[in-house]
């Protein structure tokens, strides 16, 4: 596991842990507060139990024995301490049994006036006097031992409420250990899974970058991303695209190096052969010198074209944009091409445009359009025609140049390859070029944010169309 995994893991885990502890603590405190308030309420009820004796006193004074009986009946069904009413003949008003020792203790406490609020004697209209009391320990009554099995519920005196029901001491709050452990374990698993989910593709990308840096240009990470659809999968797709582009560029560079080596080897071999013949046959030295001069010029042209191509691919044009007449530039290109067309027995048909001033790199455009036109002349059949059709859209400031020839055309599979360096179509005997003209034209047009494309004509021959936008 890498450092990023542990950063994700610890961050998510601590966040979940803190959130869980915070929520759990809040719930726990609220629960304890509710229990505390309930206990406090119960304690208040216990301390004020003597108030029930006062209510019973008022009931018999204002409602008589019937009112007292109704009150005691209502108290029997309520969860409150029982109030007893015993007359002078030791009879309880509701016929409830009262243990003699409890009754004796109540009379003794009344005579001692120990708890005047909790133990009272009142007179009724029937001539009887009733002793009202609540036999709770806090009212001076001794604790009663626990009731034996089988003992009647009201033997002695009414059973006290369950232990702690009214006077339960507050229990110490219990720590919810099991929920805390379960939440900690769940957050641990969830954080580990989430951290692994984020760290795995990043680790795959790191390994892919390492492999690519070591020269493995076939490295791809798209398959390792699975079916995820997020920014990390987009990053993996971008890496695959980058690796593919690097592979293509490296392959093109290797092919270019191979082609340059091949192109240089042929004229050098012919120069060496001419030198050998001149040494063996001194009478042919002048012819051999001319041969050496032609081959040297070919090498010079090749080196010059390679320099132009490398500068264009590097984004260095060697000239700045300036205002020039595009109509005059096209006229010069066609006029110069007519001399070469006479050697091939080809006629150039061209209708020029009016003087139109645009801003661009005239040297690059001159070389690009001239290379396209020379390519058409070299591949056009003898006695054929090359048409140069030019249109300029003044509203969109866009130049459109179409060059048609009557040559053999190009295989459909090679239409995009003709703009690659050193590409030659099937008929090599007609082509007396280095093989960089269309490649330079493509990159020069591209440097002007233009577009160049080739297609075969239905009636035979090749059509190359150029579109170049110009800014104001």
- 64 occurs within a structural domain: yes
Do 326 and 426 lie in one domain? The reply is yes
User: Which of 338, 342, 461 is CA-nearest to residue 404?
Assistant: 461
Interatomic CA distance for residues 13 and 186, integer angstroms: 10
Do 432 and 343 lie in one domain? The reply is yes
What pLDDT score does 387 carry?
94
In DSSP terms, 84 is beta-bridged to: 133
Interatomic CA distance for residues 52 and 132, integer angstroms: 10
- What single-letter DSSP state applies at residue 291? H
Main-chain phi, psi angles of 343, to 5 degrees:
-65, -35
- The answer to whether the CB of 136 falls within 8 A of the CB of 115 is no
Last residue of a domain, one of 139, 161, 177: 139
What pLDDT score does 76 carry?
78
What pLDDT score does 430 carry?
46
- The answer to whether the CB of 350 falls within 8 A of the CB of 377 is no
Interatomic CA distance for residues 461 and 378, integer angstroms: 12
Interatomic CA distance for residues 129 and 140, integer angstroms: 22
Do 96 and 230 lie in one domain? The reply is no
- 197 occurs within a structural domain: no
- 364 occurs within a structural domain: yes
What pLDDT score does 348 carry?
94
Question: CA quadruple 123, 126, 127, 131: dihedral positive or negative?
Answer: negative
- 227 occurs within a structural domain: yes
> Tell me, what CATH number does 267's domain have?
1.10.287.130
- 29 occurs within a structural domain: no
> Tell me, what CATH number does 340's domain have?
3.30.565.10
Do 327 and 295 lie in one domain? The reply is no
Do 396 and 455 lie in one domain? The reply is yes
- 171 occurs within a structural domain: no
Do 297 and 389 lie in one domain? The reply is no
Do 254 and 332 lie in one domain? The reply is no
Q: Which long-range contacts (CB under 8 A, 24 or more apart) does 261-266 make?
A: 262/422, 263/302, 263/422, 263/434, 263/435, 264/299, 264/302
Q: List all residues 6 or more positions away from 142 whose beta carbon is below 8 Å from its beta carbon.
A: 105
- 181 occurs within a structural domain: no
> Tell me, what CATH number does 129's domain have?
3.30.450
Task: Give the chain's domain count.
Answer: 3
Q: Is 203 left (phi over 0), alpha (psi -120 to 50) or beta?
A: alpha
Tokens representing residue 107 in the block = 């009379």
Grouping H, G, I as helix, E, B as strand and the rest as coil, residue 324 is: strand
Interatomic CA distance for residues 249 and 256, integer angstroms: 10
Do 224 and 284 lie in one domain? The reply is yes
- 201 occurs within a structural domain: no
- The answer to whether the CB of 346 falls within 8 A of the CB of 377 is yes
- The answer to whether the CB of 440 falls within 8 A of the CB of 367 is yes
* DSSP secondary structure letters along 132-179: EE---GGGTPPPPPPPPTT--TTSSSPPPPSTTTTTPPPPPPPP-HHH
What pLDDT score does 32 carry?
66
In DSSP terms, 358 is beta-bridged to: 324
Range of the domain at 286: 220-316
pTM, 2 dp: 0.48
Do 413 and 357 lie in one domain? The reply is yes
Interatomic CA distance for residues 268 and 266, integer angstroms: 5
Q: What residue spans of 391-458 are helical by DSSP H? A: 437-447
Tokens representing residue 438 in the block = 């269309």
Do 414 and 432 lie in one domain? The reply is yes
Tens digit of pLDDT per residue, the chain (472 long)? 556 566 666 676 677 776 777 666 766 666 666 655 544 444 434 456 678 888 888 888 888 888 888 888 888 777 777 888 898 888 888 888 888 888 888 888 888 888 888 888 888 887 888 888 888 777 777 755 444 444 444 434 444 444 443 444 555 556 566 666 776 777 777 777 777 777 777 788 888 888 888 888 888 887 777 777 777 778 888 888 888 888 877 876 777 677 677 667 778 888 888 898 888 888 888 888 988 888 888 788 778 777 777 777 766 655 678 899 999 999 999 998 988 888 888 999 998 898 899 998 888 898 889 989 988 998 899 889 999 999 999 888 999 999 999 988 888 888 888 888 777 665 544 445 667 788 888 888 888 889 999 999 988 899 999 999 987 6
What pLDDT score does 438 carry?
86
* DSSP secondary structure letters along 222-240: TGGGTT--SHHHHHHHHHH
Q: List all residues 6 or more positions away from 161 whose beta carbon is below 8 Å from its beta carbon.
A: 79, 81
Last residue of a domain, one of 107, 124, 139: 139
Angle at 378 between CA 373 and CA 382, to 5 degrees: 115
Residue with tokens 């009647």: 152
Tokens representing residue 49 in the block = 């139990």
Do 312 and 356 lie in one domain? The reply is no
Do 354 and 461 lie in one domain? The reply is yes
Last residue of a domain, one of 84, 118, 139: 139
């Amino acid at each position: 596991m890498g450092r990023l995994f542990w950063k994700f893991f610890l961050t998510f885990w601590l966040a979940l842990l803190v959130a869980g502890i915070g929520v759990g603590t809040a719930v726990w405190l609220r629960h304890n507060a509710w229990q505390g308030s309930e206990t406090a309420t119960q304690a208040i009820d216990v301390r004020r139990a003597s108030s029930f004796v006062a209510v019973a006193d008022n009931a018999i004074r204002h409602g008589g024995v019937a009112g007292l009986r109704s009150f005691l009946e209502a108290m029997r069904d309520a969860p409150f301490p029982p109030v007893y009413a015993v007359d002078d003949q030791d009879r309880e008003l509701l016929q409830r049994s009262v243990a003699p020792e409890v009754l004796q203790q109540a009379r003794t406490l009344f005579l001692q006036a120990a708890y005047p609020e909790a133990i009272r004697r009142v007179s009724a209209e029937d001539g009887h006097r009733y002793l009202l009391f609540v036999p709770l320990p806090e009212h001076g009554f001794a604790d009663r031992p626990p009731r034996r099995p089988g003992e009647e519920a009201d033997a002695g005196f009414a059973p006290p409420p369950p232990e702690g029901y009214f006077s339960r001491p507050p229990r110490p709050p219990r720590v919810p250990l099991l929920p805390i452990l379960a939440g900690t374990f769940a957050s641990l698993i969830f954080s580990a899974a989430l951290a692994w989910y984020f760290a795995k593709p990043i680790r795959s990308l790191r390994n892919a970058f390492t492999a690519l840096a070591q020269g493995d240009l076939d490295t791809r990470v798209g398959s390792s991303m699975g079916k995820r659809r997020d920014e990390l999968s987009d990053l993996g797709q971008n890496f695959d695209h980058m690796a593919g582009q690097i592979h293509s560029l490296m392959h093109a560079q290797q092919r270019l190096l191979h082609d340059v080596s091949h192109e240089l080897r042929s004229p050098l071999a012919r120069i060496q052969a001419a030198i050998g013949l001149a040494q063996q046959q001194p009478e042919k030295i002048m012819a051999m010198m001319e041969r050496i001069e032609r081959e040297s010029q070919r090498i010079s042209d090749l080196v010059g074209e390679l320099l132009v191509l490398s500068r264009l691919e590097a984004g260095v044009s060697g000239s700045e944009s300036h205002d020039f007449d595009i109509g005059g530039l096209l006229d010069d290109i066609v006029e110069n091409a007519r001399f070469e067309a006479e050697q091939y027995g080809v006629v150039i048909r061209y209708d020029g445009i009016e003087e139109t001033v645009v801003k661009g790199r005239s040297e690059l455009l001159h070389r690009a359009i001239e290379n396209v036109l020379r390519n058409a002349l070299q591949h056009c059949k003898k006695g054929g025609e090359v048409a140069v059709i030019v249109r300029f859209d003044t509203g969109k400031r866009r130049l459109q140049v179409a060059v048609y020839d009557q040559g053999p055309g190009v295989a459909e599979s090679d239409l995009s390859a003709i703009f690659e360096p050193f590409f030659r179509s099937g008929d090599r005997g007609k082509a007396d070029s280095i093989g960089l003209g269309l490649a330079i034209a493509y990159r020069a047009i591209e440097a002007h944010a233009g577009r160049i494309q080739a297609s075969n004509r239905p009636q035979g021959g090749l059509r190359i169309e150029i579109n170049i936008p110009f800014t104001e």
